[in-house]
Structure 1
Protein backbone atom coordinates (compact mmCIF):
# COMPACT_ATOMS: atom_id res chain seq x y z
CA UNK A 1 0.00 0.00 0.00
CA UNK A 2 1.30 3.50 -0.89
CA UNK A 3 1.55 6.03 1.91
CA UNK A 4 0.02 9.50 1.71
CA UNK A 5 3.46 11.14 1.48
CA UNK A 6 4.46 9.01 -1.52
CA UNK A 7 1.20 9.74 -3.37
CA UNK A 8 1.54 13.48 -2.87
CA UNK A 9 5.07 13.53 -4.29
CA UNK A 10 6.84 14.25 -1.01
CA UNK A 11 10.53 13.39 -1.08
CA UNK A 12 11.47 10.00 0.26
CA UNK A 13 13.14 9.80 3.65
CA UNK A 14 16.88 9.24 3.50
CA UNK A 15 18.11 6.27 5.51
CA UNK A 16 19.54 7.40 8.85
CA UNK A 17 23.13 6.28 8.16
CA UNK A 18 23.17 8.31 4.91
CA UNK A 19 21.56 11.51 6.18
CA UNK A 20 24.72 13.09 7.63
CA UNK A 21 27.08 12.10 4.81
CA UNK A 22 24.57 13.34 2.20
CA UNK A 23 24.21 16.75 3.87
CA UNK A 24 27.99 17.13 4.17
CA UNK A 25 28.44 16.11 0.52
CA UNK A 26 25.79 18.58 -0.65
CA UNK A 27 27.36 21.50 1.23
CA UNK A 28 30.80 20.77 -0.19
CA UNK A 29 29.45 20.18 -3.70
CA UNK A 30 27.98 23.68 -3.69
CA UNK A 31 31.08 25.23 -2.10
CA UNK A 32 33.33 23.49 -4.64
CA UNK A 33 31.10 24.59 -7.51
CA UNK A 34 31.08 28.23 -6.41
CA UNK A 35 34.84 28.19 -5.83
CA UNK A 36 35.38 26.69 -9.29
CA UNK A 37 33.23 29.40 -10.86
CA UNK A 38 35.35 32.01 -9.04
CA UNK A 39 38.49 30.30 -10.32
CA UNK A 40 37.10 30.32 -13.87
CA UNK A 41 36.36 34.05 -13.56
CA UNK A 42 39.88 34.58 -12.22
CA UNK A 43 41.38 32.82 -15.25
CA UNK A 44 39.29 34.93 -17.61
CA UNK A 45 40.31 38.14 -15.83
CA UNK A 46 43.96 37.12 -15.76
CA UNK A 47 44.26 36.29 -19.44
CA UNK A 48 41.64 38.56 -21.04
CA UNK A 49 42.02 41.67 -18.88
CA UNK A 50 45.58 41.19 -17.58
CA UNK A 51 44.29 41.32 -14.01
CA UNK A 52 45.80 38.46 -11.96
CA UNK A 53 44.46 39.69 -8.58
CA UNK A 54 41.83 36.97 -8.05
CA UNK A 55 44.24 34.14 -8.93
CA UNK A 56 46.03 34.52 -5.60
CA UNK A 57 43.05 33.29 -3.60
CA UNK A 58 40.66 31.59 -6.05
CA UNK A 59 42.95 28.68 -6.88
CA UNK A 60 43.78 27.92 -3.26
CA UNK A 61 40.14 28.21 -2.20
CA UNK A 62 38.95 25.80 -4.88
CA UNK A 63 41.83 23.42 -4.12
CA UNK A 64 40.98 23.22 -0.43
CA UNK A 65 37.27 22.81 -1.06
CA UNK A 66 37.92 20.18 -3.73
CA UNK A 67 40.13 18.10 -1.43
CA UNK A 68 37.42 18.08 1.27
CA UNK A 69 34.80 17.36 -1.45
CA UNK A 70 36.78 14.29 -2.52
CA UNK A 71 36.91 12.92 1.01
CA UNK A 72 33.21 13.51 1.66
CA UNK A 73 32.14 12.11 -1.73
CA UNK A 74 34.16 8.93 -1.11
CA UNK A 75 32.65 8.68 2.39
CA UNK A 76 29.13 8.91 0.93
CA UNK A 77 30.04 6.51 -1.88
CA UNK A 78 31.24 3.87 0.57
CA UNK A 79 28.20 4.21 2.82
CA UNK A 80 25.74 4.22 -0.11
CA UNK A 81 27.66 1.39 -1.85
CA UNK A 82 28.12 3.16 -5.20
CA UNK A 83 29.92 1.57 -8.12
CA UNK A 84 33.51 2.57 -8.87
CA UNK A 85 32.44 4.21 -12.14
CA UNK A 86 29.72 6.29 -10.44
CA UNK A 87 32.12 7.33 -7.69
CA UNK A 88 34.82 8.42 -10.14
CA UNK A 89 32.31 10.44 -12.17
CA UNK A 90 31.09 12.24 -9.04
CA UNK A 91 34.68 12.92 -7.99
CA UNK A 92 35.48 14.43 -11.39
CA UNK A 93 32.39 16.64 -11.24
CA UNK A 94 34.29 19.09 -9.04
CA UNK A 95 36.70 19.89 -11.87
CA UNK A 96 34.25 21.06 -14.56
CA UNK A 97 32.37 24.35 -14.06
CA UNK A 98 28.66 23.88 -13.21
CA UNK A 99 28.95 20.08 -13.20
CA UNK A 100 29.21 19.81 -9.41
CA UNK A 101 25.73 21.37 -9.17
CA UNK A 102 24.32 18.87 -11.66
CA UNK A 103 26.04 15.94 -9.94
CA UNK A 104 24.79 17.10 -6.53
CA UNK A 105 21.17 17.03 -7.73
CA UNK A 106 21.59 13.60 -9.32
CA UNK A 107 23.29 12.17 -6.24
CA UNK A 108 20.67 13.63 -3.90
CA UNK A 109 17.78 12.19 -5.91
CA UNK A 110 19.37 8.76 -6.14
CA UNK A 111 20.27 8.59 -2.45
CA UNK A 112 16.78 9.77 -1.45
CA UNK A 113 15.27 7.05 -3.65
CA UNK A 114 17.62 4.43 -2.23
CA UNK A 115 19.21 3.76 -5.62
CA UNK A 116 22.90 3.16 -6.15
CA UNK A 117 25.01 5.33 -8.39
Structure 2
Protein backbone atom coordinates (compact mmCIF):
# COMPACT_ATOMS: atom_id res chain seq x y z
CA UNK A 1 0.00 0.00 0.00
CA UNK A 2 1.14 3.45 -0.77
CA UNK A 3 0.31 6.48 1.30
CA UNK A 4 -1.45 9.38 -0.43
CA UNK A 5 0.81 12.19 -1.43
CA UNK A 6 0.39 15.61 0.08
CA UNK A 7 -1.29 17.76 -2.57
CA UNK A 8 -1.14 21.07 -0.69
CA UNK A 9 0.91 23.65 -2.51
CA UNK A 10 2.74 26.53 -0.94
CA UNK A 11 2.69 29.91 -2.64
CA UNK A 12 5.99 31.06 -1.17
CA UNK A 13 8.99 29.08 -0.03
CA UNK A 14 9.41 29.04 3.71
CA UNK A 15 12.36 30.95 5.05
CA UNK A 16 14.76 28.99 7.18
CA UNK A 17 13.90 29.28 10.85
CA UNK A 18 16.41 31.27 12.79
CA UNK A 19 17.00 30.32 16.37
CA UNK A 20 15.02 32.48 18.78
CA UNK A 21 13.13 34.30 16.00
CA UNK A 22 9.39 34.01 16.20
CA UNK A 23 7.44 34.98 13.09
CA UNK A 24 4.39 37.10 13.74
CA UNK A 25 1.26 35.64 12.21
CA UNK A 26 0.05 37.55 9.20
CA UNK A 27 -3.44 38.98 9.71
CA UNK A 28 -5.88 37.90 7.03
CA UNK A 29 -8.58 40.47 6.39
CA UNK A 30 -11.59 40.03 4.14
CA UNK A 31 -10.63 43.09 2.12
CA UNK A 32 -8.04 45.74 1.61
CA UNK A 33 -7.23 48.30 4.30
CA UNK A 34 -9.02 50.94 2.20
CA UNK A 35 -12.18 48.80 2.12
CA UNK A 36 -11.96 48.23 5.87
CA UNK A 37 -11.54 51.94 6.63
CA UNK A 38 -14.47 52.75 4.34
CA UNK A 39 -16.65 50.19 6.12
CA UNK A 40 -15.51 51.59 9.46
CA UNK A 41 -16.52 55.11 8.46
CA UNK A 42 -19.96 53.90 7.31
CA UNK A 43 -20.36 51.95 10.56
CA UNK A 44 -19.36 54.98 12.64
CA UNK A 45 -21.98 57.24 11.06
CA UNK A 46 -24.69 54.60 11.39
CA UNK A 47 -23.76 53.85 15.01
CA UNK A 48 -24.19 57.49 16.01
CA UNK A 49 -27.37 57.96 13.99
CA UNK A 50 -28.91 54.75 15.33
CA UNK A 51 -27.92 55.68 18.89
CA UNK A 52 -29.58 59.08 18.59
CA UNK A 53 -32.72 57.57 17.06
CA UNK A 54 -32.83 54.97 19.83
CA UNK A 55 -32.71 57.71 22.44
CA UNK A 56 -35.55 59.52 20.65
CA UNK A 57 -37.46 56.25 20.59
CA UNK A 58 -37.03 55.82 24.35
CA UNK A 59 -38.33 59.37 24.95
CA UNK A 60 -41.26 58.69 22.61
CA UNK A 61 -42.15 55.47 24.44
CA UNK A 62 -42.02 57.25 27.80
CA UNK A 63 -44.47 59.87 26.53
CA UNK A 64 -46.70 57.27 24.86
CA UNK A 65 -46.97 54.75 27.69
CA UNK A 66 -46.12 56.94 30.68
CA UNK A 67 -48.23 59.99 29.84
CA UNK A 68 -50.57 58.70 27.12
CA UNK A 69 -49.38 61.36 24.65
CA UNK A 70 -47.90 61.44 21.17
CA UNK A 71 -46.11 64.18 19.26
CA UNK A 72 -48.34 65.46 16.47
CA UNK A 73 -47.88 68.15 13.82
CA UNK A 74 -51.08 69.62 12.39
CA UNK A 75 -54.51 68.04 12.38
CA UNK A 76 -57.76 68.73 14.18
CA UNK A 77 -58.55 68.13 17.84
CA UNK A 78 -61.47 65.67 18.00
CA UNK A 79 -62.79 67.05 21.31
CA UNK A 80 -62.88 70.79 20.60
CA UNK A 81 -62.74 70.80 16.80
CA UNK A 82 -59.92 73.35 16.90
CA UNK A 83 -56.83 73.14 14.72
CA UNK A 84 -53.86 71.50 16.38
CA UNK A 85 -50.49 73.01 15.57
CA UNK A 86 -47.40 71.21 16.82
CA UNK A 87 -46.95 69.48 20.15
CA UNK A 88 -47.97 66.67 22.45
CA UNK A 89 -51.55 65.46 22.30
CA UNK A 90 -53.42 62.62 23.99
CA UNK A 91 -53.40 59.43 21.92
CA UNK A 92 -56.29 59.32 19.38
CA UNK A 93 -57.39 62.90 20.15
CA UNK A 94 -56.12 64.43 16.89
CA UNK A 95 -57.31 63.47 13.42
CA UNK A 96 -55.27 64.28 10.37
CA UNK A 97 -51.83 65.80 10.70
CA UNK A 98 -48.60 63.86 11.02
CA UNK A 99 -47.94 61.61 13.99
CA UNK A 100 -44.24 62.32 14.57
CA UNK A 101 -44.06 59.65 17.28
CA UNK A 102 -44.89 56.98 14.71
CA UNK A 103 -42.33 58.50 12.35
CA UNK A 104 -39.64 58.07 15.03
CA UNK A 105 -40.60 54.38 15.33
CA UNK A 106 -40.44 53.80 11.58
CA UNK A 107 -37.21 55.73 11.01
CA UNK A 108 -35.44 53.96 13.88
CA UNK A 109 -36.58 50.57 12.57
CA UNK A 110 -35.23 51.14 9.07
CA UNK A 111 -32.10 52.84 10.35
CA UNK A 112 -31.40 49.79 12.52
CA UNK A 113 -31.66 47.57 9.45
CA UNK A 114 -29.03 49.70 7.67
CA UNK A 115 -26.96 49.66 10.89
CA UNK A 116 -27.04 45.85 10.82
CA UNK A 117 -25.85 45.90 7.22
CA UNK A 118 -22.92 48.15 8.19
CA UNK A 119 -22.16 45.83 11.14
CA UNK A 120 -22.15 42.81 8.85
CA UNK A 121 -19.92 44.49 6.28
CA UNK A 122 -17.33 45.48 8.88
CA UNK A 123 -17.55 42.07 10.56
CA UNK A 124 -16.91 40.18 7.30
CA UNK A 125 -14.00 42.42 6.31
CA UNK A 126 -12.36 42.05 9.72
CA UNK A 127 -13.10 38.30 9.90
CA UNK A 128 -14.08 38.45 13.55
CA UNK A 129 -15.91 35.67 15.44
CA UNK A 130 -19.73 35.62 15.33
CA UNK A 131 -19.97 36.72 18.97
CA UNK A 132 -18.44 40.08 17.99
CA UNK A 133 -21.19 40.60 15.40
CA UNK A 134 -23.84 39.93 18.04
CA UNK A 135 -22.22 42.42 20.45
CA UNK A 136 -22.03 45.10 17.78
CA UNK A 137 -25.64 44.46 16.74
CA UNK A 138 -26.82 44.92 20.33
CA UNK A 139 -25.46 48.45 20.16
CA UNK A 140 -28.54 49.53 18.24
CA UNK A 141 -30.95 47.95 20.75
CA UNK A 142 -29.62 49.00 24.15
CA UNK A 143 -29.74 52.79 24.75
CA UNK A 144 -26.31 54.49 24.88
CA UNK A 145 -24.52 51.19 24.06
CA UNK A 146 -23.93 52.10 20.41
CA UNK A 147 -21.74 55.04 21.43
CA UNK A 148 -19.50 52.89 23.66
CA UNK A 149 -19.35 49.93 21.27
CA UNK A 150 -18.55 52.23 18.35
CA UNK A 151 -15.64 53.83 20.23
CA UNK A 152 -14.21 50.42 21.15
CA UNK A 153 -14.66 48.92 17.68
CA UNK A 154 -13.22 52.01 16.00
CA UNK A 155 -10.09 51.88 18.15
CA UNK A 156 -9.62 48.13 17.60
CA UNK A 157 -10.04 48.31 13.83
CA UNK A 158 -7.58 51.17 13.48
CA UNK A 159 -5.06 49.31 15.66
CA UNK A 160 -5.38 46.07 13.66
CA UNK A 161 -5.11 47.82 10.30
CA UNK A 162 -2.10 49.83 11.51
CA UNK A 163 -0.42 46.69 12.86
CA UNK A 164 -0.99 44.84 9.57
CA UNK A 165 -0.79 47.46 6.79
CA UNK A 166 0.10 44.97 4.10
CA UNK A 167 -2.07 42.08 5.21
CA UNK A 168 -3.39 40.25 2.21
CA UNK A 169 -6.99 39.85 1.26
CA UNK A 170 -8.58 36.46 1.79
CA UNK A 171 -9.36 36.08 -1.90
What range is the shorter-chain TM-score in? 0.7 to 0.9
Range that drifts further, 61-70 or 51-60: 51-60
Bigger proportion of residues as strand = 2
Q: 2:125 aligns with which of 71, 79, 82?
A: 79
Structure 1 runs, 4 residues or longer, greater than 3 Å off = none
How far does residue 17 in structure 1 lie from its aligned partner after superposition? 2.4
User: Which consecutive residues of structure 2, in runs of 5 or more, have no partner in the other structure?
Assistant: 1-32, 72-99, 162-171
Equivalent residues in 2 for 1:17-96 (5 A)?
A: 17-53=35-71, 54-96=100-142
User: Which consecutive residues of structure 1, in runs of 5 or more, have no partner in the other structure?
Assistant: 1-14
How far does residue 101 in structure 1 lie from its aligned partner after superposition? 0.6
**Aligned with 2:68: secondary structure?**
coil
**Structure with the greater alpha carbon radius of gyration:** 2
How far does residue 55 in structure 1 lie from its aligned partner after superposition? 2.5
How many residues matched? 101
Paired with 2:63 and 2:53, the residues of 1 have a C-alpha distance of 15
1:114 counterpart residue number: 160
